Structure 1
Amino acid sequence: MHLRIRYVNTGTVKESGEKHKGSVEIPNLSEENEVDGTEINISKKKGEGDVLKDLMRTEGTAKVREALRDYLNALKTEFTLGMILPTKGTVGQEWSAERKLCGNTAQGSVSPQSLDRVGVKIPTVRIVMRELFNSPADELYSIFTTKELVQKFSKRPAVIEAEKGGKLQMFDGCVSGEYMELVPGERIVLKWRCRSWPDEHYAVVDLNFKDMATQTELQLECKGVPVPNEDSTRQCWQKQYFEEIHFLLRQSKDNME
């Protein structure tokens, strides 16, 4: 995805009350590139002063990049959770590619016979994934059950009531559910859904933490995923959960050193 953005506005110098017109242009915004390297062009109307232009080139550029980072994170979240849907012309192609991908991915597997029916009556599948984390099981378990840690890796406000029947809400409400079972350091069972799924339909997510001293293998089983959302659900767990948790763990290790 590549976007070109141009924003025109008027700014006022507080001390003098002078108004200046100018524009901010991002010629090539892409989720494939680092935001810090994104080109940001600042221009002003001919004849206007340079005070705000110089300010925008320094502090303003940093603020723009911060906003772009938040925008791309939100866009990625909505895409992986299926909030951004394919057009009619690509549905058949993406469905075929999705089925092929799921059958060959190294990250997880889908039982071909596992068409379950959970919640409302729609065809569903079971997803199985495994991920190795450089963290003891107790620490990894806490990342899934502590509000402050969930908000750190998800980069969004969250509702985390880590007790049986407690509510769960993440990614600005794109994911919601409740805790069904908790065994500290060993297992979490969730009633879990994406906002784009049919109303009142939930999957059952079973997270098992296999302690391997300094590392933990997280075994995930997600039963009741709507068939059209199979790949987006896998991407959600891989990119929005696993990859962000890896990043959080690396940050914590760097801070300790």
Structure 2
Amino acid sequence: MSFEITEEYYVPPEVLFNAFTDAYTLTRLSRGSLAEVDLKVGGKFSLFSGSILGEFTEITKPHKIVEKWKFRDWNECDYSTVTVEFISVKENHTKLKLTHNNIPASNKYNEGT
């Protein structure tokens, strides 16, 4: 399973990139649920107090992030791939394209089957 979301924001790519990679900002945006980020290729991250786990596989600041991504209760080897692109349309105008691929077709709640 996969999905794609595209939205446009009137900020430079750096602002959106930082919103997706700064632990303090992510914690604030998730209403205080702890976020941890080790922003480097191979670095780990967790969101929503550990409910979402992952690893950065590609970082092109401030244009692209690729992550191995999973819910904590997915099977240990089940990771999906999240790609976030920050495309400059013009000054202070950025298109954000988020693609989520390889989402497991089912989980322990039998959703998606």
Give the TM-score normalised by structure 2: 0.84
The aligned residue for residue 237 of structure 1 is: none
Match of 1:148 among 17, 24, 40: 24
Within 2, Cα distance between the matches of 1:222 and 1:171? 18
Higher helix share: 1
Check if 1:130 corresponds to 2:6.
yes
The aligned residue for residue 96 of structure 2 is: 218
The count of residues paired between Structure 1 and Structure 2 equals 106
The aligned residue for residue 176 of structure 1 is: 53
The aligned residue for residue 31 of structure 1 is: none
Within 2, Cα distance between the matches of 1:218 and 1:226? 24
Identity %: 27
Within 2, Cα distance between the matches of 1:207 and 1:131? 11
Within 2, Cα distance between the matches of 1:174 and 1:194? 6
Deviation at 1:159, TM superposition (A): 1.1
What are the Cα deviations for residues 58-105 of structure 1, in whole angstroms up to 9, with x where unaligned? xxxxxxxxxxxxxxxxxxxxxxxxxxxxxxxxxxxxxxxxxxxxxxxx
RCO higher in structure (CA 8 A, sep ≥6): 2
Deviation at 1:228, TM superposition (A): 4.1
Matches within 5 A, 1:10-49: none
The aligned residue for residue 158 of structure 1 is: 35
CA contact (8 A) 2:34 2:50 kept: no
Deviation at 1:152, TM superposition (A): 1.3
The letter for the 2-side match of 1:217 is K
Match of 1:192 among 57, 69, 76: 69
The letter for the 1-side match of 2:79 is Y
Deviation at 1:216, TM superposition (A): 1.4
Instruction: Point out 4+ residue stretches in structure 1 off by more than 3 angstroms.
Output: none
Query: Gapped runs of 5+ residues in structure 2?
Result: none
Deviation at 1:221, TM superposition (A): 1.3
The aligned residue for residue 96 of structure 1 is: none
Kindly name which structure, 1 or 2, has the bigger radius of gyration based on alpha carbons: 1
Deviation at 1:144, TM superposition (A): 1.1
Give the TM-score normalised by structure 1: 0.39
Deviation at 1:215, TM superposition (A): 2.1
Match of 1:167 among 20, 30, 44: 44
Q: Is 208-217 or 186-195 further displaced after alignment?
A: 208-217
